[in-house]
A and B are shown apart, each in its own frame.
Chain A
Amino acid sequence: MKTWWRSHRPTTRRLAQVYCALLYNANLKGFVEGKIYTGPVKNACVPGLNCYSCPGAVGACPLGALQNAAASTGARAGTYVLGILMLFGIILGRTVCGWLCPMGLIQELLHHIPTPKIRKSRITAVLSYLKYVILTVFVLAIPLWYGLKHNLPLPAFCKYICPAGTLEGAVGLLANEKNAGLFSMLGLLFTRKWVILLVVGLACVFCYRSFCRFLCPLGAIYGFFCRFALIGVRVEEGNCTRCGACIRRCPMDVRRVGDHECIHCGACMDVCPTGAISMQCGKITLKTSERVSGLKADPVFEKDQKKRIRRGHCIWAVLLVVLIAALVWFNFLAPSGTEDGSVLPQAEIGESTAPVGHAVGEQVEDFTIATTDGGTFHLKETRGHVTVINLWATYCTPCVQELPYFSQLAKEYPEISILAVHSGLVTEDDIPGYIAQRDWDGITFAVDTEDGAVYSCVGGDALLPRTIILNARGEVTYNEAGSMSHEKLEALVQAAE
């Protein structure tokens, strides 16, 4: 049993990976409630790849934020994300991949499934450059082009490739029974991304960290800082015999220890016959090989080692306190960022006797909102005909893409009212100007207040876009998040009529 435990006990690196996965997803109640965390901590990016649409996520994904910054370059330079990525790169480099990335943990656990394994070779070494192509095309070029040219936010990597988004975001939300309504919006995109997720997962079983080695653009970004990173494995040139044991042992496609492919996992430290490799933070040695028998007898080394162990214990104790504090804060103390206001007083409006609310069959509470053309929209005044309310935002790709269908609907059904309410959280400084650039006639546009008064009335939450259809009596006949097609919209309006 002792032998079994010795070979199976988690390494420091594994503990660090689990720790980070827990810390990044400390909002555990999000999994129970089926909602994402919307508090101020999301201003900060986490170093690893962790989807910010995961119900547990308490920080922003650096890769998603980078694509968003590229897309909004026309409005303002995304210097914050660049600075954050640079900071992580200089301090940690690809140590993030090896120690602090939840996707790395998932990939490594999958690789532990005992199956025949694919060895690294010159071919895998060549394929490792594929992530730079993905970084250039999907993370930078496409979001930048569509952002500048069409003012359309298009995070192409998230939308077409990212398995973390599918696993943590989509599956994380769909797994909750409260989000059963989300199934209605699944289609080709989900099918494609689901298959990509499975292929990536399967590849990781056979080939060590396939996603990380061949596809992950975040690793590619951190790889640029490999020469300047403060923390990482270092080779003491004087002790190195160039035996190549480190390269043979390394499961990544490294050419030398510490290069752009090295994730600083420290596996090479244990095989170095001269103990030339150690984990360093500047000039401080964080970890060194314990297998160097010659050095073990050295009293100075022993003293240093004891000091390192003591320091390690102190750091772990502090980290544990931080984790517990984070878990308690996010799950019990943190005020919820958005309340959907589902408990509303019952009132009698018009001829409807339905209770006030935003679910199908209920009637929406009256509200008044200033429109972007300087007028005012009163919901009460729309009684007597069908009303379509669309919740959107300029930074939401499907929202911007579906608005032409609403405009077309307005032309075909001039008697209905169509109100598009922009989220109260505004990134575009000039929303009326943004709307004026587009041919969205027939739609009344408004911007919600910062506290989301209209969104609360109609059941809007973090999910965008959302369409709400009210019948002539002001009762909700449809209220779902997700993209609309013209055919579906027309059918829903006809049903409401």
Chain B
Amino acid sequence: MKKRNVFFFIQAALCILLCALLSAGVVRLYAEGMARVGAGDVQSPVFTREAVLEKLTSLIPLFLLALGLLVVSVILHIRNRTPQVRDPETERNLACAGIAEPSEEMQRERGTQKKLSWFGKAGAALCMVPAVLYLCMPSHFESTQLEEVMGALLLHILPWTAAAFGLLCVTECLREKSMERETKAAVVLRRNGTSSAPRPGEEKRKNLDGEKRQQWIRGILLLAAAALIIHGVLNGSMRDVFIKAVHICTECIGLG
């Protein structure tokens, strides 16, 4: 393994460890605090500044180590940017550009991609139906015990959302494979000389009408935005924003 990669893995391990310890520290403080409250000491705060500082202080060496490695990486110019990836769709489009008559294999793959796309979207939509139905039932949101409501909401929505996204991911991966096969077929077709090579700017289509329409829509939207703002200033919704902004809602920022 390259020295560079070892460095990356050490840095990654440090980041994960630091986050895990920070999370665990807070969870532990919470558990200890709740145990005190459970024992009848309801006035005792779950968290105290001293306890939090103590936990944070114990993590300073690890934090400094991670920071030191970061400084070293900056000085030595060790970087690991997000790698460039090949996009199968673009590659497919590039390979297929200029092919007037696609081969049978290409057509078959295109059909497969279309089917997969529809299957993924329809399946995801179906998966989301129970979640949407749950959201549409007013009886699920009658209680003002928000923790219970949110818990139940997550319990009913999360699995279906995960299933929908999971299905989409699977179909997208299959589509990607199909695109790769289509690209290969297109390359073979091109090599056999049965199609013309793509010319730069071949698909150029300057739609002036579309641009004009876009400008019109932009203008209308701008006017609508200005009208909404003026209406908001007059009906008091700007004041609502101000009032909310100058007060700290302790729950909204996670204080409790």
Contacts and interface: CB of A to CB of B under 8 A. Distances in A.
Do these two chains really belong together in a complex?
A: yes
Interface of A: 4, 7-8, 36-38, 40, 42-43, 45, 51-53, 57, 59-61, 64-65, 68-69, 72, 76-84, 86-87, 90, 111-123, 125-127, 129-130, 133, 137, 141-142, 145-146, 149-150, 152, 154-156, 158-160, 165-166, 169-170, 173-174, 180, 182-195, 198-199, 201-202, 205-206, 208, 225, 227-228, 230, 237-244, 247-249, 251, 255, 274, 337-338, 393, 395-398, 401, 423, 425-427, 462-465, 481-483, 485, 487-488, 491-492, 495
Given A80-B228, A81-B232, A185-B255, A90 B240 contact: no
Contact of B256 (A111, A187, A242): A187
Interface string B81-120: 1111111011101100100000000000000000000000
Contact of A79 (B9, B33, B237, B242): B237
Contact of B80 (A116, A165, A183, A227): A116
A221 B111 CA distance: 33
B64 interface: no
Nearest to B12: A115
Interface residues of B, number: 103
A85 B97 CA distance: 40
Interface of B: 5, 7-9, 11-12, 15-16, 19, 22-23, 26-27, 30, 33, 42-43, 45-49, 52, 70, 73-74, 77-87, 89-91, 93-94, 97, 135, 138, 141, 144, 146-147, 150, 157, 161, 165, 168-169, 172-173, 175-176, 198, 200-201, 203-206, 214, 217-218, 221-222, 224-233, 235-256
Nearest to B90: A244
Contact of A395 (B97, B230, B240): B240
Nearest to B150: A160
A166 B97 contact: no
A435 to B, nearest CB: 16
Max count, chain B CB within 10 A of own CB: residue among A57, A81, A401: A81
B197 to A, nearest CB: 12
29 contacts: A7-B77, A79-B235, A80-B237, A83-B229, A87-B226, A90-B222, A113-B15, A114-B8, A116-B12, A123-B173, A126-B169, A126-B172, A129-B168, A159-B254, A165-B252, A169-B254, A183-B49, A185-B256, A186-B46, A189-B254, A190-B254, A192-B254, A237-B206, A242-B94, A247-B87, A274-B200, A427-B236, A481-B250, A485-B42
Contacts of A53: 248-249, 252-253
B168 A126 contact: yes
Contacts of B157: 137
A276 to B, nearest CB: 9
A237 B201 CA distance: 7
A398 B249 contact: yes
Contacts of B19: 198-199, 201-202
Nearest to A338: B246
B201 A36 contact: no
Given A114-B11, A123-B173, A228-B221, A60 B248 contact: no
Given A114-B73, A173-B255, 8 more contacts: A76-B237, A79-B232, A114-B80, A174-B255, A185-B45, A464-B247, A488-B42, A495-B43
B240 A125 contact: no
Contacts of A8: 74, 77
A82 B176 contact: no
A52 B221 contact: no
Contact of A60 (B15, B244, B253): B244
Contact of A401 (B46, B146, B222): B146
Contacts of A251: 82
A463 B252 contact: no
A92 to B, nearest CB: 12
Contacts of A230: 218
Contact of B233 (A69, A80, A397): A80
A72 B240 contact: yes
A338 B242 CA distance: 14
Nearest to A229: B218
B79 A114 contact: yes
Given A83-B232, A114-B11, A492 B45 contact: no
A397 B15 CA distance: 35
B203 A242 contact: yes
A338 B165 CA distance: 48
Contacts of B242: 40, 42-43, 60, 425
Nearest to B166: A126
> Which 7 pairs across A and B sit closest by C-beta, in order of nearness?
A80-B232, A83-B228, A244-B90, A169-B253, A193-B254, A83-B229, A184-B45
A492 B41 CA distance: 11
Given A133-B161, A146-B141, A242-B198, A68 B254 contact: no
Contact of A462 (B45, B138, B248, B252): B248
Contact of B138 (A40, A82, A149, A158): A149
B204 A155 contact: no
Given A120-B85, A202-B19, A230-B218, A395 B243 contact: yes
A191 B169 CA distance: 31
B176 A122 contact: yes
Contact of B244 (A4, A65, A123): A65
Contacts of B135: 137, 141
Nearest to A141: B135
A169 B248 contact: yes
Given A79-B231, A198-B19, A208-B82, A239 B45 contact: no
A393 B247 contact: yes
